[in-house]
Amino acid sequence: MERIKADPRLSSLQEFLPSILGRCVRHGSIDLVKYLLESERAPIKSLSPLAVAANSSIPLLELLVSHGWDLNKAEVDRSLKRGDKLIDLVCDDHQLVCWLVEHGARVTDGEVDLYEVFPQPAPLLETCAVRGSVSTFRFLQSKGALLGHRTLHRAAAEAASFGADPFTGQEVHDGTTGDEPRTRKERAEMLVFLVDEMELDINAMDSPVPYRAYHWGTPLCYAAVKVKGARVVRWLLEKGAQPKVETAQNVADAEMLAKLTGCMENVRILREWKKVH
């Protein structure tokens, strides 16, 4: 910082401040962030939701909000995250979600129907079904957060991606380390909650728009295209999922999609199921 100030050949400090502030926020360096905001007048409006979410904590958020950062600012720079607010990005952290709601974060935003490829952002409960806990889902729902057409679909896909086992709801250990066993358990719990308690339609189509890009059809289809999805596929079938669902606008064929994506164990499960049922 002092080198920038002292060297006239370098650009002015003001040109560097947004980048420096962003890096400090991403690293959760609260003391440095405080110095930049209060002593160097760093432009807090330059901070994106993605930067704040990278290493977020309640003390950091308290500091940023006290200096005027907008909790409901939407991401504009990244195509896949465009429209996301901080609460969308940290919905896997129950404490942060509660703090954000208590301090004015909106929970009712999100595109349900009027989007081209992906909603930007998705309804908050749809995002929570992918990354959050059941307790966070219940909390957000009590505050008026919206369901999307793909809430159950995306929960099934995420559970299948991790090889979760909704039959037992227990951590599955197969030699993996870190947080993955716990994540599998959480994703299984979410899937069971959405089907057994929320009673979401297990054969619902994901969109009223026919053959929408990157939309697979039913929740079973979303699980069938995941290599580790065998347990979720079996569980959905046991719960009443149909291998093939046809509507006036669309056809969802889980076996065909599993075959196209090379998920041959899922193909075998679906074929065996159809023979018996």
Cα–Cα distance, 149 to 230 (Å, whole number): 23
The letter for the amino acid at 64 is L
170 Cβ contact partners less than 8 Å away, ≥ 6 residues apart: 185, 188
Cα–Cα distance, 209 to 45 (Å, whole number): 37
15-39: pLDDT as tens digits: 889 999 999 999 999 999 999 999 9
Ordered by where they begin, the domains of the chain are 1-56 (no CATH), 149-277 (1.25.40.20)
Q: pLDDT at residue 56 above 70?
A: yes
In this structure, what token pair is assigned to residue 181? 């066993």
Q: pLDDT at residue 8 above 60?
A: no
| Higher-confidence position of 131 and 3 | 131
Q: pLDDT at residue 272 above 70?
A: yes
Q: pLDDT at residue 153 above 80?
A: yes
Q: Is the pTM of this model over 0.85?
A: yes
Q: pLDDT-derived band of residue 9, with 50, 70 and 90 as boundaries? A: very low
Residue 253: strand pairing partners = 244
Mean predicted confidence (pLDDT) in 80-87: 86
176-229: pLDDT as tens digits: 556 789 899 999 999 999 999 999 999 999 887 777 777 889 999 999 999 999
In this structure, what token pair is assigned to residue 64? 């940023």
Cα–Cα distance, 58 to 118 (Å, whole number): 30
Nearest-10 Cα torsion for 156, 160, 161, 163: 150
Of 164, 260, 178, 184, the residue nearest 217 (C-alpha)? 260
The mean pLDDT of the chain is: 90
90-146: pLDDT as tens digits: 999 999 999 999 999 999 988 766 555 566 788 999 999 999 999 999 999 999 999
* Run of H or E residues at 219: helix 219-224
